[in-house]
Structure 1
């Protein structure tokens, strides 16, 4: 780090859990952000601000006026632009030393695995189960930890799945594919309160920073947030031995409140 870096990241470096070593790990790390909407916006901005060295942001959608209620990486002048490009520009404007690349297309299964293998952490900021399963499969195949967030109406959830940990479940252990429909997580059909996506996205960014820097302990299990009551609930999770995504890793487990 040079003197400018030491000044920029001084408030993190003074934390004993981070220190210079942790900040250097952040500067050398790579994050894959899939989705540049309500969740991906704060994730991209906070990871860039924290000094994550390389961000890859993937999103095929364009910015629409209804997005501006919650997707804070985009502004009115970005209407009609690709979201990945818009979010990348916002991240670079915040921290020009952060290397940011935009993928302006939908990543197929092979593309997701390739992008995952080039990352140190994956952040699922999408809002459909089909995308979530594909991202989870890429995380398992690449052996890269996945930070998953979701927000709908007044409800949010956060989970971290780490295929490097033999006791960790994957997303499909929690939500078996046969039980889900895409409409269940679509803000376009169900609505969402504006600050909720920021809150969940910020927690995703925090977990990514912890994983990349080595600070603290990664989130365990599933946490759900009720925005109307302000209450969090935490659930212990274990692997499903019949999980179609990770059963071949040879572990077992269950879930309980």
Structure 2
């Protein structure tokens, strides 16, 4: 395919998958259960944090997470007692366990109390064409409280070579507009043009078949290569193609 054919092909796939029916089998349905900004972003962040493995399992465990937070994530984060934190300890999703969950709640409370909330932390270190430095700086803020070393693996750092798939996905949810009823567009201090594709095995494999990506590993260098090519297709909203790449890989076995 030449450039114009590729763009037309992927734009058509975006229209197919950037649709509310996408939510029926996607973890993004979890934050869609809320209407308040803080509830959306906290539920979205926690859901994205455990978004690896089987999607049905992710949705089930994210639902359990919200139930443990009394289905009022922001209120729980801000007002929890130590006794209420204890009830989180049995939670587990793969390698993310109750102790990790415990710290995440304490850190989120610190972010809302001391740093003005999640959006302000991510917006603080943004550059015009990327949020990867913002993600790295966010991790520093997130772990400024005393914590177990093992918990740090649940927040990726792209400046240390990670593709940071889950955080990039969370940022897509928060920043891209809500015109199709899929993403939220509730963070106005960041722009869709700054976003990076949530690079995983599905989107990576499809991107390689379409010659959007040559690097074999799904790491920070691969993400940079993919970002550069997606920005050629749409400089203002490059990450809309996440829907096309993911849909082609998961649903069409492209």
TM-score tier, shorter chain, comes to under 0.3
User: TM-score by structure 1 length?
Assistant: 0.27
Higher strand share: 1
Higher helix share: 2
